[in-house]
Amino acid sequence: MSSESATPVLVNIPTISRRHPLLNWLLAILLMVSGMYLSIIEFAGLEWLSRSGCLVVVLGVWSSLGGIIQERLLIGRLDFQHRINLARAKRKLRKLKASDEHKDNELQAIEDEFKEKTEVILQAVRLQLGILEVSLLITGTILWGFGDLFFKLTL
């Protein structure tokens, strides 16, 4: 009876899109290659690789903001699933005319599961987006600070 009343609507925990980090890195690589090309052809100077590093840093900051939005969306989806699960469990428990103690236990189990899934999502999203953000910021900062030296030393 316990497992029937707490049947989840969706068993999959929502996760962050794998496209987000991939698109950010593809855009960062495009910016770096464009910066190298403009520096090689000396379009208005040699500083384009450094400028592209600045844009990669901006991309890293934007990815952080995008991560906050994605985190909120994932938590919102999980909250929606949670409310549906609670409503279904309450309806089923009313139909079964379960005791108050049994109702409380079932509803508490659903609440505990929601809290656990929320923690899992928050940890996974923050780790994945933290790695993306830090790697973009480090790469962009190094290019921004030392990108012009590469061409000054080689040309």
**What is the pTM (predicted TM-score) of this model?**
0.66
Mean pLDDT, range 26-39, rounded to an integer: 90
Question: Would you kindly state where each structural domain of the chain is located, as residue ranges?
Answer: 19-154
User: What per-residue confidence (pLDDT) applies to 28?
Assistant: 93
Residue 112, by phi and psi: left (phi above 0), alpha (psi -120 to 50) or beta?
A: alpha
The whole-number pLDDT of residue 15 equals 62
9 falls in which pLDDT band (50, 70, 90)? Answer: very low
Query: pLDDT exceeding 70 applies to what percent of the chain?
Result: 87
Q: Look at residue 31 in the predicted model and tell me its pLDDT.
A: 92
